[in-house]
Structure 1
Amino acid sequence: MKQADIPSETSTAQDAARLSVAPMMDWTDRHCRGFHRLMSRRVLLYTEMVTAPAIIHGDRARLLDYDAAEHPVALQLGGSDPAELRAAVRIARDWGYDEINLNVGCPSDRVQSGCFGAVLMKTPELVADCVASMIAESDVQVTVKCRIGVDDQAPAEVLPSFIATMRDAGVRRIAIHARKAWLQGLSPRENREVPPLDYPLVHAMKAEFPGLHLSVNGGIETLDQARDHLQVMDGVMLGRAAYHRPWDILGDADSLWGEVARFKSPHAVAEAMRDRVAAHLAIGGRMHQITRHMLGLFHGRPGARGWKQILSQAGSSGTLADYDRALAAVSEPAIVS
């Protein structure tokens, strides 16, 4: 089935894209996604970016395997060769992702050297060829994550033209990071903080392209801010706020769909994660592979420092006893009647 033929109301990923956790290199691996999914049944989760050549020539199981409980989950691809991207999508179909996303927003040096990521904002016709090739091979929606422009481009001119080009290529859903990317002179971290945010421009794109599902990304720190953006936009994508303060963002995220939270407190989440940590250790995994994503669970709450310190010090040699010590540091006080 071609993407243009997929009714939007039947798209699980599109419904979930009302709130999503951005793809983040070295962070949104399967353990992170499993932790986030435990807190929210609804939000759309993304993999780390995986390059098309890596899927074609590398260890596919290591790159693409995930737990079925992670659904709805999207695979983000990096690349700029239509044939390679088509081949990667063909391979990934067997894994049953709910969406395939093309990275046109990452400004890191390693992405630029491969001629993909944000640098592709300069060649929208090439991006159109890439997504058309991906759509031809995909049985789920192919989406794009982009910036409002790069370097000396004028976003008010570039962004609407880019979106129109994506629409004409068959894309129906786009996540827009509301900052430019400066490919020379700013580090990847600075590119997430220094270029000014232009939410009004992104909001204007929704008015200009009412038939597309558009999400805003960048600088959104709270669930209340996400609700404000949702007055205008179809979706909101959060990155570091969801990673560093997961309970604050995901603990009540399902309320955006009119559903009650799965857990009453971050303590309940930590208790529920204990069995997952134990199971991972039992098969030879290292505790740090899971708990490194959980360090911010108690952000701003009593015991948060002890929780983070104990888990960090335990590191890759941590045991379930270490997890229990960290849990004790943040245990909720008993209610005395």
Structure 2
Amino acid sequence: MMDRTDRHCRYFLRQISARTLLYTEMVTSQAILHGDLEKLLGFTPEESLIALQVGGDDPARLAKCATIAAEFGYDEINLNVGCPSQRVQSGNFGACLMMEPERVADCVAAMRSASNLPVTVKHRIGVDDHDHYEHLRQFVEIVAAAGCQRFTVHARKAWLKGLSPKENRDVPPLRYADVYRLKQEFPDLVIEINGGILTLDATLEHLAQVDAVMIGRAAYDNPYLLAEADRRIFREAVAVRSRHEIVEAMYPYID
């Protein structure tokens, strides 16, 4: 989440749940190749499991990013094909790439060839009027053929013009059934659902249909939502930390 899941936020979230996969903020390929790597990509071992989310459309640049991600010790590299902001579109990446599945496939193939990290893709169910289920199915089929085995699907379409990024997270209706259908038609792929999921009860309901669930804003707005995730979602016999215990665990980090 942009301006949200920096290294300090991730360290805090890890005190609440040991098993949930955490994501960085989206970092552009250009920033990775020309910026301060420690500032952009640095993290502590305690944050793992952690995925680096990147934005870009150039296979060669993204391949270099994958190599760097592996050197830093990330567990996964995730290509963002879901962000609809005008700034992101101006760089020809994010949600607008759903109109170019072959280019996304080339990016995935290049990243896979550059490192042993799993390469995953986060995307919408469609963009603008290119939003029928068959468009979504074709996108996944083409990108999967390049070696992507995990797709995180925000169950809303994105409007590339006319809505702000915030409105694109709320205004387009949720179409969970399309994501469920993807799993039925691609049983060998890992299909993860995202969008409007506010509780662990809802998470468990979705897990009856798909392989994984991504929770974004709800976990940022109420981090303690994740307190029972290890026990309820991952079926681990662990004690649930109290809020007081979580704050105490942060003292050494803050010092």
Q: Common fold, TM-score beyond 0.5?
A: yes
Deviations 1:38-96 (A, max 9, x none): 11110000000111111111111111110011111000110001111111112222101
State the distance in 1 between where 2:253 and 2:47 align. Answer: 14
Letter in 2 for 1:254: D
User: Contact 2:66–2:117 at 8 Å: present in 1 too?
Assistant: no
- Hey, what does 2:132 align to over in structure 1? 155
How far apart, in 2, do the equivalents of 1:264 and 1:59 lie? 35
Aligned position for 2:229: 253
1:199 to 2:176 alignment: yes
Structure with the greater alpha carbon radius of gyration: 1
Residue 172 (structure 1) aligns with: 149
How far apart are residue 261 of structure 1 and its match? 4.5
Contact 1:118 1:147 in 2 (8 A): yes
Q: 1:41 to 1:262 in 2, by over 3 A?
A: farther
Are the counterparts in 1 of residues 77 and 119 from structure 2 also a CA contact under 8 Å? yes
Distance in 2 (CA, whole Å) between partners of 1:273 and 1:58 is 29
Q: Which runs of 5+ in 2 are unaligned?
A: none
1:180-219 alignment, distance < 5 Å:
180-219=157-196
What is the CA–CA distance in structure 1 between the aligned matches of 2:240 and 2:190, rounded to whole Å?
A: 30
- The code of the aligned residue for 2:184 comes to A
Checking the alignment, whether the CA contact within 8 Å between 2:16 and 2:241 is kept in structure 1 is: no
Among all aligned residue pairs of Structure 1 and Structure 2, give the percentage whose two residues are the same amino acid. 56
Call closer, same or farther: CA 1:95–1:262 in 2, change over 3 Å: farther
Q: TM-score, normalised by structure 1?
A: 0.74
Distance (whole Å) between structure 2 residues aligned to residue 130 and residue 276 of structure 1: 37
What letter matches 2:228 in structure 1?
Answer: D
C-alpha distance in 1 between matches for 2:114 and 2:157:
31
Inter-partner Cα distance in structure 2 for 1:272 and 1:101: 29
Shift of 1:263: 3.6
Q: Deviation digits for residues 112-146 of structure 1, max 9, x if unmatched?
A: 11110000001111111111111101211000000
In the alignment, the residues of structure 2 paired with residue 180 and residue 261 of structure 1 have an alpha-carbon distance, to the nearest angstrom, of 38
Q: Match of 1:40?
A: 17
Structure 1: runs of 5 or more not aligned = 1-23, 280-337
TM norm structure 2:
0.97
1:108 deviates by: 1.3
Distance 1:117 1:148 in 2: 13
**Matched residue count:** 254
Query: Counterparts of 2:44 and 2:111 in 1: how far apart (Å)?
Result: 24
Q: 1:220 aligns with which of 197, 221, 228?
A: 197
Give the deviation of 1:155 after TM superposition. 2.8
Is the 8 Å Cα contact of residues 148 and 177 (structure 1) preserved in structure 2? yes
| Greater Cα shift, 112-121 or 268-277 | 268-277
Q: Are the counterparts in 2 of residues 28 and 47 from structure 1 also a CA contact under 8 Å?
A: yes
